[in-house]
Amino acid sequence: MIEHVTEWLGAYLDGELRGLRLRQVEDHLLECAACHTELEDLRSLSKLLKDTVPAGTLTPTERFVTNLTLNLPRRPEAPQYQKAAEILWRLVPVAVLGAWIFTQTVLAVSTLVSTANLTGLFGNAAAWLQSGPQHTEWFSATLSLFGSNLSGNARALLDVLDDLSIFRLSFTTQLAWQAVIGVLYWIWLAVWWNRRRTITNPYFS
């Protein structure tokens, strides 16, 4: 029994079929007179619709443009604080991404330092890792590497991060931070999508 492709003929006519479906329809049309006729009917309908044009009673483009540009209302300008808020809003994903890269880097460095220490790669140089149990390994490593070159502000920032114990080498903590960052990002994405739908649909009755 021949399986007709009637339901796909419209899409075929519109050039919307691809791949296997396209080949299936093309092959079928070669051997099925009924579908071929159906396709020609659809083609005729399309031509009939397009060939029926309005009479020349529509305002010519030039006059339309002149009338329109003369009557364009003044566009309300967004207040400064709104513009600033918009810029900040756009920076949120950048900040979230930065936070994610930061935690990932810290995790990688922590793991590296910890592994190197455990395998004795650091030798005596790793003595500092045991010297300050009150500090995180990440903090100690950074201090050891850049201690003398760190500015006052950078050192203060490191102290804060160390005090917060955010970046202790704990898989669960890291996972929790990444989850928080992920959730923040998805919330931003959801709000952005919702705003986009409202803003870009100028369906203003």
Q: In angstroms, what CA-CA distances link 39 with 21, 45, 54, 59?
A: 16, 10, 27, 36
Among 19, 73, 79, 133, binds another protein (CB under 8 A): 73
How many CB atoms lie under 10 A from the CB of residue 193? 10
DSSP assignment of 29-47 equals HHH-HHHHHHHHHHHHHHH
CB 6 → another protein: shortest distance, Å? 9
Find the binder of another protein among 20, 58, 87, 94 (CB under 8 A).
58
Residue 43 CB partners (closer than 8 Å, separation 6+): 13
Among 2, 19, 54, 123, binds another protein (CB under 8 A): 54
For the segment 141-200, give every residue that binds another protein (CB under 8 A).
197, 199-200
The correct pick among 19, 52, 124, 133 for binding another protein (CB under 8 A) is 52
Degrees (nearest 5) of the Cα angle 33, 39, 43?
A: 140
Under DSSP, the state recorded for 105 is H
Q: Is 49 in the site for another protein (CB under 8 A)?
A: yes
Q: What is the footprint of another protein within residues 75-134 (CB under 8 A)?
A: 75-76, 78
Cβ atoms of 177 and 103 closer than 8 Å: yes
Size of the site for another protein (CB under 8 A): 44
Contact track, another protein, 3-42, x by CB under 8 A? ----x--xx--x-x-----------------------xxx
3-class SS of residue 59: coil
How large is the C-alpha radius of gyration of the chain? 33
How many Å apart are CA 116 and CA 201, to the nearest integer? 56
- Smallest distance from the beta carbon of 145 to another protein, in angstroms? 43
Binding site for another protein (CB under 8 A): 7, 10-11, 14, 16, 40-42, 44-55, 57-59, 61-62, 64-65, 67-69, 71-73, 75-76, 78, 197, 199-205
